[in-house]
Amino acid sequence: MANVEVSLKEAMTSIDGVLGVALVDYSSGMALGTLGGSKDLDLGVAAAGNTDVIRAKVRAMEMLGLQDEIEDLLITLGNQYHLIRVLKSRSGSGLFLYLVLDKGRSNLAMARHQLRRIEADLEV
C-alpha cells in the first residue's frame, strides 16, 4: 500500500505526458495533495472546480434513476486531457484522483490503466 505522496509521485513518473496530479476530497473540494502544475495550472483551483463536476454528474445520475457508480470522467480540451478517477476503496470514499495530461505526449488508454493501478495501491 502506498501513501498519498508516493501515489502522486508514481502518477507523475509512470504516466507519460502528466502535467499535474491531485488527490481531492469531493465533499469539501479541498486538495489533500498535489504534485506538478504551473502558474497556468493551479491544481487547488482545479480541484475545487472539478468537485462541482463530480457533484453535477451524481445529481444527473440520480435524476435519471441510474443505479451505477462513476468510474472516471474525461474532459478533453484542445491541448490537454483532464481525467477524474473516483476512488472506490473504503478508505478512499469521497475522494478522487485528478490527472492533467498533455494531449500530444500522452496515451489516454495507458493513463487510465496506470491510474487504476495507482488507485488500487493507494492507502489514505
- Which of 66, 57, 31 minimizes the C-alpha distance to 45? 31
Q: Where are the domains of the chain?
A: 4-121
For the whole prediction, is pTM greater than 0.85? yes
Tens of pLDDT, residue by residue over 63-122, are 999 999 899 999 999 999 999 999 986 555 789 999 999 999 999 999 999 999 999 888
Question: What's domain 4-121's superfamily in CATH?
Answer: Dynein light chain 2a, cytoplasmic (3.30.450.30)
How far apart (Å, rounded) are the C-alpha atoms in residues 92 and 86?
9
Tens of pLDDT, residue by residue over 10-61, are 999 999 999 999 999 988 999 999 999 888 899 999 989 999 999 999 899 9
